[in-house]
Amino acid sequence: MENYKIVSDSCSNLPTDEVKKFDIGIISMYWIDENGDEHIGFDPEHDQDYKGFYNRMRNGAIIKTSAINETSFLNYFEELLKKGIDVLYLAFSSALSTTYNSALVARDILLKKYPQRKIEVIDTLAASLGQGLLVYHAAVNKENGMSLEDNRKWLEENKLKLAHYFTVEDLVYLYRGGRVSKASYFLGNALRIKPVLHVNDEGKLIPFTKVLGRKKSLQVMAEKFLKHGVDLKNQVIAIGHCDCIDDVNYLISLLEKKVKFKRIIINYIDQTIGAHSGPGTVALFALCDSRNPQ
């Protein structure tokens, strides 16, 4: 079997058990709390206190985040290349972070030093468990004997079929990030209007509809997914959340009235993404006929 390693970053949000099962390499991002202290976003040996993180945000903490820099990629990739291991790296969407571009810079530097080795860098144009499901499929492909090059081709052919649907509890975090206007923020919170968003083909998080109330936003997500999902009963799908497991269970109940899935992966949304979407975010991911929710 070809000797290569699947690598991603902490925005992929796969549960630690899955990361360990498939021996996936994770390069972690860091977040900075309200006191200026830096924290690692993923450590396979220590569970993250996600509940504590989102409670900080509920109490008014403004969290800062940073992308993975070129040096981190150089160090991580080179350790693998020295051992004769090639790299298939799946990056957080280039539309949401500079991480992908930093990985490209590192790749170009290292391939001059190790011309006999391979480093493939995939812009997933995805986020959270949308990115994570692509990593999962890549790992299953590798386990089934797929070569690095064929795996790269599979990812490029299928990444824009990995649909993402999100909804949020409080518009303030999207407003701070410039994703909703000031008027939409104030009016939406006053009237309990909830946006439903998706990640488009450019890898950007954009609203596609607005509804009245939390349950309705979850119902719309379920309806769109059931309409566009392909062969869902045989799929592994995923749901990410920012400390709102009751809403996750409600969403699952809506979905399972129609389809019994092969498997549902559930995990917290990491701090890097959660800092910009806020507590109460729920996101649904699966392979669909397209990313377009219309």
| CATH number for position 21 | 3.40.50.10170
The SS3 call for residue 5 is strand
Q: Say if residue 215 is in the same domain as residue 155.
A: no
Written as six digits, the tokens of 39 are: 């924290």
Report residue 99's pLDDT band, with 50, 70 and 90 as the boundaries.
Answer: very high
Region of residue 112 (left: phi > 0; alpha: psi -120 to 50; beta: else): alpha
Confidence of residue 190 (pLDDT cuts 50, 70, 90): low
Outline where 192-288 has alpha helix (H): 214-228, 245-256, 271-277
Mean predicted confidence (pLDDT) in 191-202: 87
- 263 and 127, same structural domain? no
Range of the domain at 87: 4-159
Type of residue found at 197:
L
Looking at the structure of the chain, the number of domains it has is 2
Long-range contacts made by residues 144-148, C-beta under 8 angstroms, separation at least 24?
A: 145/1, 147/2, 148/2, 148/4, 148/86, 148/88, 148/118, 148/120
pLDDT(16) > 70:
yes
Assigned domain for 294 exists: no
The answer to whether residue 253 is domain-embedded is yes
In-domain check, residue 292: no
Amino acid at 56: R
Q: Are residues 124 and 22 in the same domain?
A: yes
How many percent of the chain have pLDDT more than 90?
A: 85
Same domain assignment for residues 121 and 179? no
Find the mean pLDDT for residues 213-226.
95
Q: pTM of the entire structure?
A: 0.95
Quick one: average pLDDT of 207-228? 93
